[in-house]
Amino acid sequence: MGRRLMLRESQSRVAVCVAVLVAALLGSTASAQERWSRGQNIQPVFEGWERNADGSFDMVFGYLNRNYEEQPVVPVGANNTFEPGLADRGQPTHFYNRRQQFVFSVRVPADWGDKDLVWTVTHNGKTDQAFGHLLPVWEMDDGVMRLNRGSGSAQGFTDNQRPFISIDGAGAGLEVTLPNSLEISVIAGDDGIPPPNPKLGERKPRRGPKSQAVVDARNAGDTGLAVTWLHWRGPGMVTFEPQVPEVGEGGRAVTRASFSKPGTYVLQAVADDTVLLGSAEVSVTVNPARSEP
């Protein structure tokens, strides 16, 4: 038992070190050169894998959008695809600025073996790939998540459970007609582990809404829980007011979404306890403005 524990801790440390090294390499171009507002590529990133109770595995991916302002929309297809198998594995088509960690996961069967799962993104004339695999050194646990997300020590929270979140009253989806905005509410909850950490409030958040949510969770009631809204898919731009709404009585959090153009969108609400994440998605049909009679 002791040797297995030491091996697991060693693997976790190696995974953290490799992830930090990858992040440093990915960011080196931006730090050594001019910070480009737009016109740069999107680098997919394999974060690691998680083991499921039924024997299957979740491969976790993130990305680096090298642009400091441009938030590209890259539809699923030749320029945003997975292989082998289905091209659509639930990946985002809207990419926020800079490094976004632990963005989504892809489940693979227990007999996946030593194959690679490859995510390919082409943008601004450059094609980049991330290779997901089940090497033991890339297995993720709470410690890896905690250290990589900059939320403090990885020790002392072995019973932490993933927060839950659901879209309130969404049914099969939501609908709005321009120029109207849409009020959306979620119900979120957590086990209170880890507790709120006031020291997180002293840190400057990395770029991105999830990073801001980690900071905002420092004073989120008794659980240290924050909710973040993300534009996951859709043709235009989405503005949330607020993007990180307060989690109120009964775990309810309310925001208002505005859309720049008609189309079908997918919005994602993320519950964040500063270590683990839970998410829920809702489809929104945005109709064009009605013509004046």
Domains of the chain: 2-140 (no CATH), 159-287 (2.60.40.10)
Find where tokens 């007999």 sit: 111
Contact status, residue 80 vs residue 73, Cβ threshold 8 Å: no
The confidence score (pLDDT) of residue 175 equals 95
Q: Give the ranges where the chain is alpha helix by DSSP (H).
A: 2-32, 142-148, 209-216
Q: How far apart are CA 118 and CA 133, in angstroms?
A: 9
Burial of 206 (0-12, 13-18, 19+ CB in 10 A): middle
Query: Which among 188, 152, 24, 51 is positioned nearest to 107, based on CA atoms?
Result: 51
Q: How far apart are CA 279 and CA 163, in angstroms?
A: 9
The confidence score (pLDDT) of residue 276 equals 82
- Provide the 3-class DSSP secondary structure of residue 159: coil
The confidence score (pLDDT) of residue 274 equals 81
| Amino acid type, 239 | T
The residues of the chain scoring below 70 in pLDDT are 1-34, 142-158, 197-223, 292-293
